[in-house]
Structure 1
Amino acid sequence: MPKKTLNVQDVAEYLGVHSDTIYTMVRQKQIPHFRVRRRILFSIEAIDAWIRDQEQKVLEEAI
């Protein structure tokens, strides 16, 4: 069964960025996340939807 939640390192690898970038995005509320106590977690479905949303914004700006 595939993982449904990812940690900061998982998301950084998934997006191909440094984990510091993910922490900055979380702090600035630029990426969907949730917390369990002090742990920052991400739903894979929410990240995939966020990626699609980002792609759509780029396409709309190009018009």
Structure 2
Amino acid sequence: MGKITLTVKEVANLTGLSTTTNYNMCAARQLPYTEARSRILLYRSMLEKWLAGESLDLMQV
């Protein structure tokens, strides 16, 4: 079983977008994310749906 959450750096490697772009997209609520101890984490399943173009409620999880 793979990881449930991804760090911004892991998302950058997965999407090809820079970490700065990913942080900015989270701040603008353009990526689905959650925070844990000041770390931004993205749920793999939600990110995969977002990448596939599925409509998501992008409020912070």
| Range into which the TM-score falls when normalised by the shorter chain | 0.7 to 0.9
The structure with more helix, counted as a fraction of residues: 1
Structure 1: distance between partners of 2:39 and 2:20:
15
**Cα drift, residue 53 of structure 1:** 1.9
Superposition deviation, residue 37 in structure 1: 2.3
Structure 2 unmatched ranges of 5 or more: 56-61
Aligned to 1:12, what secondary structure does the other structure show? helix
**TM-score scaled to structure 2, two decimals?**
0.82
Q: Which has the larger radius of gyration?
A: 1
Aligned to 1:44: 44
Give matches, 1:8-47, under 5 Å: 8-47=8-47
Where does structure 1 differ by over 6 angstroms across 4 or more consecutive aligned residues? none
RMSD: 1.5
TM (normalized to structure 1)? Answer: 0.79
Measure how far apart 1:30 and its partner are: 0.2
